[in-house]
Amino acid sequence: MSWHKLVCQKKFLNASAMSLPITQYGFAQTTINVINFSIISNKTELKSATIQDVAKETMTTTTRSRKRKADVAVYLQDPDEEVTEMTKKKHYECEDYPDPAASPCGRIPTPECEAPELPSCDAPLLNYQQYSFRHHCVTPTRSSPLPALCWANKEDVWSNLLKKDHSYHRDGGFMERHPHLQPKMRAILLDWLMEVCEVYKLHRETFYLAQDFFDRFMATQRNILKTTLQLIGISALFIAAKLEEIYPPKLHQFAYVTDGACTEEEILTMELIIMKELKWNLSPLTSISWLNVYLQVAYLKNTGEVLLPQFPQTTFVQIAELLDVCMLDIRCLGFSYGMLAASALFHFSSLELVQKVSVFQWPEMEQCVKWMVPFAMSIREAGSSLLKTFKGISADEMHSIQVHAPYLDLLERAQSYQLVDVERSQRSPLPSGVLTPPPSSEKPEPSES
């Protein structure tokens, strides 16, 4: 074929491509044939594959390297947010150039025009927005407990952590907009997601991201039926795994654990719906992330190893177990993620240590600490779980894998303790633990000696 013919064909293809009509891709909400999510005797029976079958499937896969998720720097800043902040800032100072003519900020003298007079100090400044700098830079409300960092300013890092903790809002009363649902259904669903995470050896951060996506998505909806919960939950876990895991499970594996109740097409459709409703805000700082930061600051001795875990794995697992049980209770949505992690750390350490690593004061965290007492009591009575080992996972990564335990039983026991405290407070106006003397008529008469 001659060169002239090739050039003519290329021009023809380009002209044909430009003449094609361009349609805007739109997303329309469609009726989804969802799963059978039956509730029998206030207990939900999830149609899932047996754990043994899934475990056999995952055991046959080759050993893959897992990424480290315990370092602090992972939760510090997002690159996209950093670029956005840099583009917003203006350069108010110019570099000193040896040649004034070469300076891009040098002024060109204009002798023909008189320079305008500057306003006096007493004159009011017009059109001055005093909030302009506050709009771009967030001042942290708590001083930074982080050590000196060689790669960033610790105050800026701490400010970004606080900003992210307050920018993701959650609604603890979203169940009121779903009359067909009960808080216990949420607990059963999250407990099942933990079991799926353990089978596929997913990180704790993956589960906590899925829990955050589920709760925030439910806050944007109304009248969700109980038959849709499992589809929403597995879709949220599908999104979280793709964000957090290096080698996330395949789509057909997520559909497999539902025993055919959720098809691959339904999961993909629900994935788009969730991300659209969340406005693509998919990087919250979860409670397990805050726990990593607090323990790293508490045990850090050498600032040169700030990116490597310095805390004992057993300590992390015990505190994470308390957070796992607390997350099943919908009332956890009334507290920030940083507050939940600090309160959980309080039950395993001292107030001085918590104030040092989180900079929370006791009046700020008192309500959350007291709310968490029944959960800590139930775990203490049942005994803390030991560090589990997983085939194909390195020893320094064992603590970061999400595990499953009889958390629903621990939740019921903790809620029974809460009912006892409520009944006790209703019977007596005095706080528990205050002893009152008996009436004078009931006092025993002193014996004659």
The predicted-structure confidence for 204-259, as pLDDT tens digits, reads as follows: 999 999 999 999 999 999 999 999 999 999 999 999 999 999 999 999 999 999 98
> Count of CB atoms within 10 A of residue 367's CB?
13
pTM beyond 0.75: the answer is no
Chain mean position to CA 78: 14
Q: Give residue for tokens 């998919």.
A: 282
The pLDDT-based confidence of 138 (bands split at 50, 70, 90) is: very low
Chain mean position to CA 228: 23
Residue 70 confidence (pLDDT)? 40
Residue 396, CB half-sphere, CA atoms under 13 Å: how many? 11
Domains and CATH numbers, the chain: 168-284 (1.10.472.10), 286-424 (1.10.472.10)
Alpha carbon distance 276, 86 (integer Å) = 26
Alpha carbon distance 378, 412 (integer Å) = 9
Nearest Cα to Cα of residue 234 among 409, 77, 47: 47
Please state, rounded to an integer, the average pLDDT across all residues of the chain: 75
Nearest Cα to Cα of residue 192 among 232, 252, 144: 232
- With a CB cutoff of 8 Å and minimum separation 6, the contacts of 391 are 59, 63
State yes or no: pLDDT of 116 exceeds 90: no
Question: Among 85-99, 136-150, 178-192, which stretch is predicted with the lowest mean pLDDT?
Answer: 85-99
> Count of CB atoms within 10 A of residue 430's CB?
10
The predicted-structure confidence for 333-381, as pLDDT tens digits, reads as follows: 999 999 999 999 999 999 999 999 998 999 999 999 999 999 999 999 9
